Amino acid sequence: MVVEPLERFSDGVILHFSHNHRLKLEMSGAYEEEKFCQACSLPIYEGSYYTCMDQCDFILHEACAKAPFQKQHATHAHSLTLKKVGNIQVSGGRGHFYCWACGRLRTGFVYEDPNSRFHLDLRRASAAEPFQYEGHEHPLFLA
């Protein structure tokens, strides 16, 4: 059985595993540099995102809110589980972790193998292979 990371209440209203309040879907017409996604730590850009209905600062890009709990990734042999960093202790300390793919200290959500110290940030774990990049004529793969 696949468990979804969110529960839908009505069209555009969800409860996400990472937050105690309901979130509503909104559209951004422009880059909003003062608003950051809690999952990927990137700013809200043009497109859809979820915001807390109780007026706290919790925001998720729509794509980040729909990230699956369990994931297989080409760079790791075992299944990875989605976690909200901040409530758990991971290799980088409380609230931070080192991403295996980029080698940087990250915040936000992490995909981890609970039996090892393997961590991928949400964006890198969501990269599809092969990756098509307009600046290169051939498909790219994670090494």
Q: What is the pLDDT of residues 13-72, one digit of tens each?
A: 999 999 999 999 999 888 777 889 999 888 888 889 999 999 888 999 999 999 988 887
110-131: pLDDT as tens digits: 888 878 878 788 877 776 666 6
Q: Establish if 138 belongs to a structural domain.
A: no
Token pair for 50: 């979820």
- In a shared domain, residues 59 and 79: no
Residue at 38 is within a domain: yes
Q: b/e map of 11-38 (b: 16 or more CB within 10 Å)?
A: eeebebebbeebbeeeebeeeeeeebbb
* pLDDT score, position 65: 93
What local confidence, expressed as pLDDT, does residue 87 receive?
A: 45
Are 47 and 89 members of one domain?
Answer: no
**Rounded CA separation 138/132 (Å):** 7
Alpha helices in the chain (DSSP H): 62-65, 122-125
- Residue 33 is predicted with a pLDDT of 75
Q: How far is CA 39 from CA 7, 17, 133, in A?
A: 17, 12, 24
Across the range 99-109, mean pLDDT stands at 80
Q: How far apart are CA 9 and CA 6, in angstroms?
A: 10
Higher pLDDT, 78 or 20: 20
Domain membership of residue 22 (yes or no) is: yes
Instruction: Tell whether 40 and 53 lie within a shared domain.
Output: yes
Residues 19, 53: one domain?
Answer: yes
Is the per-residue pLDDT at 92 higher than 70? no
Q: Give the count of domains, the chain.
A: 2
Residue 137: inside a domain: no
Q: Assess if residue 139 is contained within a domain.
A: no
Average pLDDT over the chain, rounded to an integer? 80
Q: At 1, is the pLDDT very low, low, confident or very high (cuts 50, 70, 90)?
A: very low
Task: Flag whether 58 is in a domain.
Answer: yes
Task: Answer yes or no: do 18 and 57 share one domain.
Answer: yes
Is position 13 within any domain?
yes
Range of the structural domain that residue 119 is part of: 70-125
The whole-number pLDDT of residue 103 equals 76
Are 57 and 87 in the same domain? no
**Does 21 share its domain with 57?**
yes
Examine the pLDDT at 139 and tell me if it is beyond 70: yes
The pTM score is 0.77
Instruction: State percent of the chain over pLDDT 90.
Output: 24
